[in-house]
């Protein structure tokens, strides 16, 4: 599944959660079954799920996470003998250890991503995905054991070891298939698809200023520093506690205590990350419900309060743009002529349909440049915060007036349009006042016309 990641907030959330799960499994007992003289891993399962839902690049990144976690765990002095070759600090061939622990996992992620990419294009997707999930566990074993036989032949393991399956191996393969199928069903369910569309809605997407990003960065650095100091502190207190009970803590034991504390810290950070992402997802969904409550039910454009809030937000968003005083925007008021007469003579149903088509025309023309709102019974407003020249604007206004004139066969529909050309930032009061002045002058000129006022 090839993704253009720009703007796909929901996909970022899900990938982040899966990478955090991979990190937790790589650093805790959840990802390993200890069977002397070596550990059997289940930490490859999130990689397979990511390969199924996303693609080769994302699953390769997950493989990197797995490899780094595996390498760190193998660096502890208490690990089983067969696991030590996964750490460059415990062998005489550090490059080989890195290739074994990290290289094989990244390659595994890439291969699984490619396999699922092919499967997703096939006619028999479910059968293909089940088969891909089935071969994931033996493929991972083949890559790891094969690398062990090539890089560390003295370990006694080689590619033939991957074919010696026991009950645990069958159980892991079954869990892998179940995880992939369930994840795929849930991810492509109607509920999740609806939720994904909500989260990725461009109108709801949060825009962070430079100050907000810098503040967040400082907070993250501060939290990490506190967490690091806490890890060192608790490791030293553990050593002290052992000393109180008469247990002599050697340098190696102290190193392993600190090693375990770091593992615990990594797992806790991952859990907190998952919690934060889930909270953000819930928050965005609640914002969507609030947003929909502020939409105009008839025309499906922003209601007055939502539109004005959006205009204020646009002004604030320009804080992070260099030379903001040189940035220009357009604010429009559109007033429908003789709308009451349309309702009285042709009926409210026709009047409602007229409003809908005018709103639709405004959205088709201006939504890619800014936002459209209904600010009164027969009044609409538009803010254009993307680059548009005066010539382009006039061309679009003429097109709009021409489009709406043919809405009703019984009579010509027309509007007066007031336009204010402003520089960012501007107060809401000034925007409304100056644009209202332009609309008043347009009404004085006659029907089906527009007036543009500059600063």
DSSP state of 292: H
Give the number of other CB atoms < 10 A from CB of residue 228. Answer: 12
Residue 196, pLDDT score:
87
pLDDT digits (tens, 9 = 90+) for 65-86: 999 999 998 998 888 888 899 9
Sequence-separated contacts (24+) of 349-355 with Cβ below 8 Å? 350/408, 352/298, 353/407, 354/407, 354/408, 354/413, 355/298, 355/299
Structure-block tokens of residue 382: 């538009």
The reply to whether the predicted model has a pTM over 0.75 is: no
DSSP state of 221: H
Residue 320, pLDDT score:
46
415-423 vs 449-454, strand pairing mode: parallel
Residue 3, pLDDT score:
52
Where on the phi/psi map is residue 87: left (φ > 0), alpha (ψ -120 to 50), or beta?
beta
pLDDT less than 70: residues of the chain: 1-7, 32-40, 202-210, 317-326
Q: Are 420 and 453 in contact (CB under 8 A)?
A: yes
Residue 37, pLDDT score:
54
Residue 285, pLDDT score:
82
Helix or strand (DSSP H, E) at 105: helix 104-119
Residue 34, pLDDT score:
59
Residue 361, pLDDT score:
94
Whether residue 293 has a cis bond before it, omega within 30° of 0: no
């Amino acid at each position: 599944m090839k993704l253009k990641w720009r703007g796909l907030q929901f996909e970022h959330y899900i990938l982040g959660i899966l990478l955090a799960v991979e990190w937790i499994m790589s650093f805790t007992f959840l990802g390993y079954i200890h069977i002397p003289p070596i550990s059997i891993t289940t930490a490859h399962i999130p990689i397979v799920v990511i390969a199924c839902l996303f693609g080769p690049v994302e699953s390769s990144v997950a493989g990197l996470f797995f490899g780094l976690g595996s390498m760190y765990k193998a660096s502890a002095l208490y690990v089983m003998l067969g696991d030590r070759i996964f750490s460059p600090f415990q062998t005489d061939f550090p490059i080989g250890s890195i290739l074994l622990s990290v290289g094989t996992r990244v390659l595994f992620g890439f291969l699984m991503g490619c396999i699922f990419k092919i499967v997703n294009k096939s006619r028999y997707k479910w059968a293909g995905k089940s088969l891909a999930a089935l071969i994931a566990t033996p493929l991972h074993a083949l890559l790891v054991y094969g690398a062990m036989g090539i890089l560390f032949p003295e370990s006694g393991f080689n590619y033939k070891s991957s074919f010696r399956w026991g009950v645990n191996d069958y159980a892991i393969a079954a869990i892998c298939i179940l995880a992939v199928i369930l994840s795929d069903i849930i991810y492509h369910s109607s509920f999740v698809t609806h939720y994904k569309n909500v989260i990725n809605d461009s109108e709801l997407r949060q825009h962070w200023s430079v100050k907000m990003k810098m503040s967040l960065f400082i907070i993250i650095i501060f939290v990490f520093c506190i967490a690091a100091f806490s890890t060192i502190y608790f490791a030293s207190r553990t050593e002290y506690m052992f000393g109180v009970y008469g247990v002599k803590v050697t340098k190696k034991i102290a190193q392993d205590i600190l090693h375990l504390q770091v593992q615990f810290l990594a797992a806790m950070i991952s859990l907190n990350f998952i919690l934060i992402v889930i909270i953000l997802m819930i928050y965005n969904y609640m914002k969507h419900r609030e947003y929909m409550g502020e939409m105009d039910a008839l025309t499906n454009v922003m209601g007055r309060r939502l539109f004005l809030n959006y205009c204020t937000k646009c002004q604030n968003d320009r804080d992070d743009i260099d030379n903001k005083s040189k940035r220009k925007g357009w604010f429009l008021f559109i007033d429908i002529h003789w709308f009451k007469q349309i309702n009285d003579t042709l009926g409210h149903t026709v009047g409602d349909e007229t409003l809908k088509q005018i709103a639709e025309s405004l959205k088709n023309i201006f939504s890619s440049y800014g936002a459209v709102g209904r600010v009164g019974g027969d009044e609409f407003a538009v803010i254009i915060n993307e680059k548009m020249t005066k010539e382009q604007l006039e061309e679009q206004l003429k097109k709009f007036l021409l489009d709406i004139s043919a809405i009703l066969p019984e009579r010509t529909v027309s509007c007066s349009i007031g336009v204010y050309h402003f520089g960012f930032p501007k107060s809401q009061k000034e925007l409304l006042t100056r644009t209202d002045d332009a609309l008043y002058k347009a009404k004085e000129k006659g029907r089906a016309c527009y007036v543009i006022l500059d600063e």
